[in-house]
Structures are given as C-alpha cells and as structure tokens.
Amino acid sequence: MTATAPDTADAAAETAHFRFFELEVLRTRRLGRSFLRVTFGGASLADFRSGGFDQSLSLFLPPDGREHTVLPSTDEDTWFGAWRGMPDEDRPVMRSYTVRDQRRTPEGVDEVDIDFVLHGDASPASRWAGRAVTGRRILAIGPAVAENKSVRFQPPPAADAVWMYADETALPAAAAILERLAEGIPVRAWFEVPHEDDRLPLQTAADADITWIVRRGDGRDRTDRVLGALRSADVPAAAAPYVWLAGEAGTVRATRRHFVQERSVDRRSVRFTGYWRLGASEEQLLAEAYAGQAPSEEPTSEL
C-alpha cells in the first residue's frame, strides 16, 4: 500500500498505517456553487484515525450505473493488482481526497466529511458526488493511525508564519489546516476559485490574511493571475516562514519558484503538492507516480 520495500520492518509498520474502510453516505450539503460536502458513516469508521490538517485518503467510486463499490480484493498485498486487472467497465475509479473533518456524534456515531468540487459530468468523481444519495456505499483506503505520511502539512517547530496557496481542489485541505492552526500565528493565504460564490467562510484562530483569486474565463491564464496576486501582495516579514502549496501542478511549481527565488524562502520549508495536472487524468498521474516518472511532483496519495 506504500512505496517502501515490503521486506523491511519499517515498511510493515508503514503499511499498517492504512487499511480499507467501507463508507456509507449519510447526507450531502451544498457549500457553494462548486462545492458539495458528503458526510459518510459506517461501522468501520470506529477504527479510522485522521491526522487532521491535509489528511488524504483514496476513494473507490463505483462505475456509472452501480450503486455500491465492489472490489475483488481488499488484501494489502493483492488489492492493487486485482483492481488494475478488473475490466474497464467494472473497475471503480480511484481518487484522492482530503478528510475535511472527522467526529463522533453525541449518539456515538462516527462521521467523516469529504468536500467534492463539482463541475458537472466532466469527471467521474464530480459525476458520482452530484448523484450521491443516502445509503450509497463506497470503499476507501484511509488512516488507521493519526501519525501517517498522508498528512503533508508538517511545519517545523521554529516556523513563525504560514504562507499558503490553494486552488479549489485543495481548498478543503487548506480550510482544514486553518481550523487547526494555533491561535495568533500569522498566516498569509491565496485561494483561487472558479466563481465569486465559492469564497467559502473559513474558521481559524490564526491571524489570517486571505486573498481570494476568482478565475476568469477558461482559466488559461491562471498561473499568470496567481503569480500577479502573489507579487503584488504585501507580506509581513518572517524569519522562518513555512509555505504550503497545493493545486494544479503547473501553477504549484510556479508559485514554489516565486517563494524560493523571489521571496528567498528556504526550499526545505516549502511543501508543495500537485493535486492534478492540466491536460492529464488522475489515472495518468497515478501511473506516473507508481512508475517513478514524476520526480518533480509529490504524488497525490501515499496509499
């Protein structure tokens, strides 16, 4: 389930960090023009241990016309080959998402929220989420321990400020990070969204200054618009800022260069993740990650 060698003690421990969970749709709620929150439950969530911040998990969404996810194997040693070997028309779609929140209700029910970006039927995940109804069941690979490698937001103790960029695909992760930041820590953030009403209300105890970048037209100039907003921003000086960047891979690479080259941030203090890449499907990105062909981008999932 991870990229580490299977014959080492460390690999065995890392594999134990993740397992399959069955998630059942409890309810859905529209958050904005482009965002839908799906709340999942299920008995197996009693063993789910989100590490918070930008905790990711991998969802297996059923093909069109199927109500529930079915996999030929959920064994840690055989599931991937069995999944890849399924006929195209039967193979569930695997997608990486952020755990927006995990909680236990007063009634003792474990719940997990996952926020989806909706853009019609343009992608399998958007199509599934737009049709999600109570009772639908999917499978996921998620954390069984809170301290796991799928939490990428890891500021060093010496960090005295947090600087962030996220597009709409990474906004749920950014929102979860903001909610968990310590009171008063300086935060400068730039969030890019498709529409004005996607500027969601965000809760944080941090001293956060947020700039919303609303995309115009078809978004082909997105990188230039984002860089323009960054370059024109008045950012208070910090001795040891920690930078977290996530979204479209090309724009993320450009923003990383901006912070390292133009704002002199130590590259070791920049955490960047390409959640998707313009012109590429997630199937292509997954194949590249497993083949080790994308060294300049962090994979979207450790699972």
- Can you give the pLDDT at residue 142? 97
Say how many CA atoms lie within 13 Å of 272 toward its Cβ. Answer: 22
- Can you give the pLDDT at residue 291? 63
Residue span of the structural domain in which 69 resides: 9-143
- Same structural domain, 136 and 171: no
CA pair distance 112, 23, nearest whole angstrom: 9
Residues in contact with 4: Cβ distance below 8 Å, sequence separation at least 6, in sequence order: 10, 11, 14
CA pair distance 93, 222, nearest whole angstrom: 28
Q: Which residues pair with 161 in a beta bridge?
A: 241
- Can you give the pLDDT at residue 281? 61
- Can you give the pLDDT at residue 222? 87
**CATH code for position 265:** 3.40.50.80
The position carrying tokens 């909610």 is 179
Structure tokens at 197: 């009403």
- Same structural domain, 204 and 267: yes
- Same structural domain, 128 and 243: no
| Structural domain ending residue among the three candidates 95, 114, 143 | 143
pLDDT tens digits, the chain, 303 residues: what are they? 233 333 434 444 455 789 999 999 999 999 999 999 999 999 999 999 999 999 999 999 999 989 999 999 999 899 999 999 999 999 999 999 999 999 999 988 899 999 999 988 888 999 999 999 999 999 999 999 999 999 999 999 999 999 999 999 999 999 999 999 999 999 999 999 999 999 999 999 999 999 999 987 666 788 999 999 999 999 999 999 999 999 999 999 999 999 999 999 999 999 999 988 876 666 666 666 656 554 344 434 333
CA 227 → CA 6, 231, 233, 250, distances in Å?
A: 42, 6, 10, 12
Per the structure, the count of domains in the chain is 2
pTM of the model: 0.88
- Same structural domain, 136 and 64: yes
Query: Are 252 and 246 a contacting pair, CB within 8 Å?
Result: yes
CA 246 → CA 203, 249, 254, 272, distances in Å?
A: 19, 8, 11, 6
pLDDT single digits (tens) 99-131: 999 999 998 889 999 999 998 888 899 999 999
- Can you give the pLDDT at residue 3? 31
Question: Which residue type does 227 have?
Answer: L
Residue 151 lies in a domain: no
CA pair distance 276, 295, nearest whole angstrom: 15
Given strand 270-276, what is the order of strands in its sheet?
207-214, 186-193, 161-166, 241-248, 270-276
Say how many CA atoms lie within 13 Å of 71 toward its Cβ. Answer: 25
